[in-house]
Structures are given as C-alpha cells and as structure tokens.
C-alpha cells in the first residue's frame, strides 16, 4: 500500500508498493511511480514521467517541465513528453528536470540542478547542486559534475570524467549575433576519464582527449591530446 498524505493531489493510478507521497505534492495522471519511491512535500510530477524503484524526490522538485520559447528565442524547442528516472536515484530539492530526459540508475541530482530537454545522464553519475545542463547534453556513466558547473548545449561527457565546480562551457563563438544554426553550434567533447579543475572555461567544439587534465582556471581554446595536462590562459601543455 502507498502512503499518501491527504493534502497531496494524486491523479496517477500507476503507483507501486510502499510509495510515500508527502504534503501538497502533485502527481498527474499518466505518471508512473515504482515500488518504494519517496515523493517529498511540494514535488510536482507531470504526465509521462516514470520514476524507478526506490527513487527519492526531495521537496519542491519539478519533474516533466515543458520547454517554452518566447520571441527572444531563436528556435522552437522540440521534445517528447516523457521523462525516465532510473531506479535508486536521488533528485534534489528544487531541482527542475524537463521532458525528454533519461537518467540512469543510482544517479544523484543535486539541489537546484536544472536538466534541459534531450539530455541523457548515465548510471551512477553525480550532478551537483545548482549545476545546469543545457539542451542535448550527454553525460556518461560514473561522471562527476560538481556544484554550479554549466554544460552548454550539445556537450558530451565521457564515462568517468570529472568536471570541477564553476566550470563553464560555451558553444557559439559569435555569441548569438549570427542567429542559431543546429549544425554550427557545438559544445565541447570531454572524453572518458578527463578531469577539469574548478573555474576552467572550455570554448566551443574543443575536444579533451581521454584521461587529459585541465588545471583550475584554465581557458581551453583548442583540442587537448589524450593524457595531456594543460594550464593557463590560453591553456597550454605542461
């Protein structure tokens, strides 16, 4: 039997055994909650969201937000109205996860994190507090992205990579002045096992090779060879 607080608004009929739903939570029709899921107070779960077994969603999280364009946005967002959170995950307080996202098993999403549409996050990953993943970011298994880092749209992060706190990435050297082109706007590619120190900046399209290291505060303007350590502004091998 599920334990549902009387103030919660629960429309879903697919609720597993041992689920708990706290005060003023909203679970829309069409959502799926796996066995043992724990939904804390003031969480909102939209239709098409699938929560795996044993997932904990902390207070104020919003799962299944629809992306929306205004006149200031250069492209109309495209997405599927579905979201999957794998078994054993923890979704932090006030985190916002858009539609068309997949999160692998046993992944932790920190407080206040934002995950945009088309993102894919692997298993056993850690996405720290107030991290932002822009549209179409791919994060591999076992990746660690520390607090307040920003991964721009079309960034890829390989298995086991480490992204330090306050790391910034960008995907458009023209900074929007030439309009939006899907083919030319590209974030960095961070290959498996690469490590990026706190406060580093990665420019559009750079490739960090496997097991490379970027020192704290570096500005990476060109590709980094596998196994190489770079530092400085602009970053150079040492």
pLDDT value at 109 more than 70:
yes
The CB density around residue 40, as the number of other CB atoms within 10 Å, is 18
pLDDT at 76: 73
**Average of per-residue pLDDT across 201-206:** 97
84 contacts: CB under 8 Å, gap ≥ 6: 50, 52, 101, 102, 103
pLDDT value at 144 more than 70:
yes
All domains of the chain, ordered by start, with CATH? 1-116 (2.160.10.10), 143-238 (2.160.10.10)
Percent of the chain with pLDDT over 90: 88
> What is the band of 70 on the pLDDT scale with cuts at 50, 70, 90?
confident
pLDDT value at 129 more than 70:
yes
∠ CA 86-128-187, nearest 5°, is 90
**Average of per-residue pLDDT across 47-76:** 89
Q: What is the pLDDT of residues 174-198, one digit of tens each?
A: 566 665 566 667 999 999 999 999 9
**Average of per-residue pLDDT across 10-21:** 97
């Amino acid at each position: 039997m599920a334990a549902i607080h009387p103030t919660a608004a629960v429309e879903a009929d697919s609720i597993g055994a041992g689920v708990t739903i706290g005060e003023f939570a909203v679970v829309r029709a069409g959502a799926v909650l796996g066995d043992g899921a724990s939904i804390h107070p003031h969480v909102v779960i939209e239709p098409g969201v699938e929560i795996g077994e044993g997932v904990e969603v902390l207070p104020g999280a919003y799962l299944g937000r629809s992306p929306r364009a205004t006149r200031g946005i250069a492209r109309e967002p495209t997405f599927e109205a579905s979201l999957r959170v794998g078994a054993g995950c923890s979704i932090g307080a006030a985190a916002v996860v858009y539609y068309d996202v997949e999160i692998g098993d046993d992944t932790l999403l920190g407080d206040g994190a934002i995950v945009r549409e088309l993102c894919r996050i692997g298993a056993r990953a850690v996405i720290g507090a107030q991290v932002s993943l822009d549209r179409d970011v791919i994060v591999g298994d076992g990746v660690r992205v520390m607090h307040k880092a920003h991964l721009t749209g079309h960034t890829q992060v390989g298995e086991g990579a480490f992204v330090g706190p306050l790391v910034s990435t960008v995907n458009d050297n023209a900074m929007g002045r030439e309009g939006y082109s899907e083919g030319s706007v590209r974030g960095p590619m961070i290959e498996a096992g690469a490590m990026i120190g706190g406060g580093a900046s990665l420019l559009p399209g750079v490739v960090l090779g496997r097991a490379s290291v970027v020192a704290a505060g570096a500005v990476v303007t060109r590709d980094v060879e596998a196994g190489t350590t770079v530092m400085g502004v602009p970053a150079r091998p040492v």
